Chains A and B, each alone.
Chain A
């Protein structure tokens, strides 16, 4: 049974890879999408059945089956109804859900684990997954709102300055925590980090121009991939690590390619500045 599951995950990983490869050629893109989707279904079904053979309470199973059913139907419905022009928004919204999922996983793990017996490395991974997931969640929502035109660019000094402070905090606080300077238990600390990261996600995307949103969405997509990979390390699941890293690496390259197609540098996009028009 164990071997079958491992082989299944291997096939799923290969299907993600094949899917990405096929999706980068116009003729075979549809096949690529189908292959990756099938691989994903395989991975999910395997995980479900491999875990369910043990004694799992019925409540959990019912909640999961419900969540999966509603999620699938809603995803299908949203993508069927969307206008052609609204597609980038929807992609951004779906990216937000992925980031949200990664953040929740971090919080749940923090609720459950006992700090004393948990490995230091695991805590680092949980923190990394939580913060990247939270940034992707709120950042993608703001990107979606901007494309919809309800949120305007804000390039004030205050926004940019506080974004930098928050980013520094996100790096500094975990360091201080592991050095023992912050007398909080791991759970409370994780909730605080989640809030800081979510605010940072908002401030990160706010100054960026609306026309640059596809680039930002691609970048956030790559961040979600990295969050997935962190979670994959926590569970020691190769399909998650590989899928996450593929998306992370491909997403960053895609971001750079999109920048080049628009003849802008990534740094300029992120700073929200234009060539002849300095705002800020």
Chain B
């Protein structure tokens, strides 16, 4: 119970985010399913922020964590850059109907 009262603000925040996340894509046409999936995948690359925050704290002589952190930052960046670029390429195939 203590945990809940201390984190009430976060719990509200998450609940609203869930509903907004669902509502925002509720009317997506089937043709856009794949680009939207790819775009959402790119957005989940925001985990890179966490990797950077953690890397900034790792001591200079902690080689294990420096290696893991380097890989984590690399993977996070790959997720973001690859995700947005590939979404862009998919969307290029959609020609606006005139």
Interface on A for B, CB 8 Å cutoff? 12, 16-17, 19-21, 23-27, 29-30, 32-34, 36-37, 40, 43-44, 47-48, 51-52, 54, 56-57, 59-60, 63-64, 66-68, 70-76, 78-80, 82, 84, 87-88, 90-91, 93-95, 97-98, 100-102, 104-105, 107-109, 111-112, 121, 214, 217-218, 221-222, 224-225, 227-229, 231-235, 237-254, 257-258, 261
Contacts and interface: CB of A to CB of B under 8 A. Distances in A.
15 contacts: A20-B25, A29-B35, A51-B53, A67-B70, A68-B74, A75-B78, A98-B76, A100-B71, A221-B37, A221-B41, A225-B40, A240-B49, A246-B17, A254-B25, A261-B30
Interface of B: 3, 7, 10, 13-14, 17-22, 24-60, 62, 64-66, 68-94, 96
B16 to A, nearest CB: 9
A33 B39 contact: yes
Given A19-B39, A29-B94, A108-B65, A79 B24 contact: no
Contact of A225 (B44, B59, B78, B92): B44
Nearest to A228: B47
A231 B45 CA distance: 12
Given A71-B81, A97-B45, 5 more contacts: A87-B89, A95-B79, A241-B13, A247-B43, A254-B37
